[in-house]
Chain A
Amino acid sequence: MQFSLKIRERNFSFQSFNEIMAKANEEKSGDSLAGVAAASYLERMAAKTLLAGATLDYIRNNPAVPYEKDEVTRMIQDQVDEEVFVEIKGWTVAELREKLLSEASDAEAIRRLSRGLTSEMIAAVAKIMSNMDLILAARKIRVTAHCNTTVGEAGRLGSRLQPNHTTDSIDGIIASIKDGLSFGVGDAVIGINPVDDTLENISRVMDKVYEFTHEKVNAPTQICVLAHITTQMEAIQKGARTDLLFQSLAGTEKANRGFGINAAMLDEGLELMRSRGPAAGPNVMYFETGQGSELSSEGHEGVDQVTLEARCYGLAKRYSPFLVNTVVGFIGPEYLYNAVQVTRAGLEDHFMGKLTGVSMGVDVCYTNHIGADQNDLENLAVLLTAAGANFFMGIPMGDDVMLNYQTTSYHDIAALREIFGLRPAKSFEEWLERKGIMVNGKLTAKAGDLSIFEE
């Protein structure tokens, strides 16, 4: 492994592999805030060049955080398919990039190959890929998962209906659900971010939304209430019904401790869902991630935000999640400053998640204090649909009145399906046809009318 390089008569030296990994990143404000970013364009290119020549074997032996110190590292290392790894360990990162892009590598070949990769290898290759490389390679990979419906099938684009309300009013939540269903939104999950994370409230929201979805309108989908995992587990143990168990993940043990979670807790959650959950499964977990969250919770261990994000997917993989969602424009300008950085992060995350082998969606979004707007959001949603994302969020007009940010709207989901000729999940599409909302994959005159559902 080389640690120094001369370019155009300038000498660049790096102290560690983590430093090369960090400085090989495209420009991100979060890496600057962490003090790990390249200081110049040429330094960034020096890092990318050295990284391109690194072997997968070297990367395997130099994880971002030491094996002894971090349980996320241990999980990533221990789940590597050693048989596949032996075949590819002599490859350089550049050769991995070219393998992924080659017409000789189809979806099956890439899926097999991915079993021999660690998260650091996946991050490394993303760092030397352009935006279009990331789209092309991700598009080849298909990851499907099944809970009550199937997500990720060819020709289909899923959506999370996000009917948040400022006071968790059930009537208000159900009004938003009706509006979303009438647009054909909600086939991946109906997922509520609660205001109030108490056992009583979470149980109430779970039960009422479950009842409306599965017993009243009988929509073939999943429900989820995005409270802390411990609150959800307690609610389930006391008899509340939910199809998916949610948790936000970080890429280090230390940052996960900041979130109040660890692997043992996630193991217990999965076990509880498989034994007590009402959903068919086998995929019953829903995770959210996002670049910058480790630094934000002071658990980044000096590692850059792309590598840490890849490690989140490595952790997620252990639990065969139904959905993994990277929330890409929410964290603030000190981590992702503007539309260029958000776009790059969205494409990196989606690619890295898919190459890891998890069912990947993206919360394509912006807050009002970053340099991005509605047009930037729409651009990224189009790019990610081209890249084959499994699902996006759907919110009334994209305006989340509870979390105070903007994400993709019910209209955007309908438009993306129309532009790319995509349909909702099969069983959900059949339900939409029975309700007269969709015919042959096209919305009918009834679509967008929330009054068609009886009280």
Chain B
Amino acid sequence: MMDFEGVVGDVSRNKPVFHDNNVAWALKERTGARIGVGRSGARPLTSEVLKFRVDHAAARDAIYDSVPEDVLKRHECVSVETLAADKGEYLLRPDLGRRIREEDLETLRREFSQGETVLILIGDGLSASAVEANLDDILPSLRTGLERHGYTAPRPIFIKNARVGVMDHVGEALSPETAVLLIGERPGLISSESMSAYMCYKPRFGKTDSDRNVISNIHRGGVPPLEAGAVIADFIHRFLELKTSGVNVKGA
């Protein structure tokens, strides 16, 4: 099948016209912004419009897609949901995305022991694609990193329609020493597969952003997921040593 990238440049014979091609291309290389794209009258050339719309379409799909079941099964995730009934409600009510459903709290209490050293949480957040794209790399490297420090984590918990604050509710239910939440970021046009890792010592109700450490921009073109897994493990180790997290803990 023909690939978009191979086709889009050939939909029209019109190309950007530059007085000096070398200067134009040198300038284009200095930024990721879409400069020097040409025009027809006051409008962009068709291929540029198509490329832009494809990037936006990928971003929109990333928000409304679900993480495929086989991905969650492969990593032996225990799946739960927040109080947000669907993506529409999730977008409108950030508060509902911070609470686990009552029946799912029972599941968590049944499946997990109280007071684990570290819990691995996974949230779809604003990008299911981010979870799908990064999980296979980030989870093994995170587990390896934790083992190197002498820790083991139980099965990951997947939380559908999750906001960052949901880690505090899981913390209330299971009283872990530490937790990390791997969550899909708001997709941009450059990448719809970007993930953040929020990490907290004793996540409980009342914790705020200043109590958490975060690694953002985790994707193939940003912070590589393999690398991020190791960095998270180092943070967890520091939290356990220092018995705190957030602004009190600088980069591990």
Interface residues of A (CB under 8 A from B): 29, 32-33, 163-166, 169, 171-176, 178-179, 332-334, 337, 367-370, 373-374, 395-399, 401, 404, 406, 409, 411, 414-415, 417-418, 443, 445-452, 455
Contact = CB atoms under 8 A, between A and B. Distances in A.
Given A175-B27, A334-B93, A443-B42, A373 B56 contact: yes
B162 to A, nearest CB: 14
B31 A401 contact: yes
A374 B24 contact: no
Contact of A179 (B35, B187, B190): B35
Interface in B1-60: 16-21, 23-24, 27-28, 30-39, 41-44, 48, 52-53, 55-56, 59-60
Contact of A165 (B31, B41, B44, B91): B31
A399 B189 CA distance: 8
Interface in B57-100: 59-60, 63, 91-94
A337 B27 CA distance: 38
Given A368-B63, A399-B52, A334 B94 contact: yes
Contacts of A401: 31-33, 189-190
B48 to A, nearest CB: 6
A411 B38 CA distance: 10
B34 A399 contact: yes
Nearest to A180: B35
B188 interface: yes
Which among B30, B126, B187 has the greatest number of chain A C-beta atoms within 10 A?
Answer: B30
A450 B36 contact: yes
A369 B35 contact: no
14 contacts: A29-B92, A169-B30, A171-B31, A172-B32, A175-B27, A175-B33, A176-B35, A368-B60, A369-B186, A395-B33, A396-B37, A397-B48, A401-B31, A404-B189
B20 A451 contact: yes
Contacts of B32: 165-166, 172, 401
Contacts of A445: 17
Contact of A449 (B18, B33, B186, B188): B18
Given A165-B32, A165-B33, A334-B94, 6 more contacts: A32-B92, A33-B94, A369-B91, A399-B34, A415-B42, A418-B41
A446 B19 CA distance: 8
A374 B93 contact: no
B91 A418 contact: no
Which among A32, A169, A450 has the greatest number of chain B C-beta atoms within 10 A?
Answer: A450
A421 to B, nearest CB: 13
A172 B31 contact: yes
Contact of B35 (A169, A175, A334): A175
Contacts of B27: 175, 178-179, 450-451
Which among A173, A179, A367 has the greatest number of chain B C-beta atoms within 10 A?
Answer: A179
A399 B33 contact: yes
Contacts of A414: 39, 42
Nearest to B189: A399
A449 B17 contact: yes
Given A368-B56, A399-B52, A448 B35 contact: no
Contacts of B59: 368
Interface string B170-207: 00000000000000001111101000000000000000
B33 A374 contact: no
Contacts of A173: 31
B56 A171 contact: no
Which among B18, B27, B38 has the greatest number of chain A C-beta atoms within 10 A?
Answer: B27
Per CB-CB distance, the 5 closest pairs between chain A and chain B, nearest first, are: A172-B31, A397-B34, A415-B42, A404-B188, A414-B42
A451 B92 contact: no
Given A368-B187, A401-B31, A448-B38, A374 B91 contact: no
Nearest to A373: B56
B126 A369 contact: yes
A374 B52 contact: yes
Contacts of A409: 44
Contact of B31 (A176, A367, A368, A417): A176
A339 to B, nearest CB: 13
Contacts of B37: 396-397
A32 B17 CA distance: 50
B186 A411 contact: no
B191 to A, nearest CB: 9
Given A29-B92, A334-B93, A451-B19, A396 B33 contact: yes
Nearest to A32: B92
B60 A172 contact: no
A367 B186 contact: yes
A172 B126 CA distance: 29
A333 B91 contact: yes
Interface string B107-145: 000000000000000000010000000000000000000
A176 B35 CA distance: 6
Nearest to B58: A368
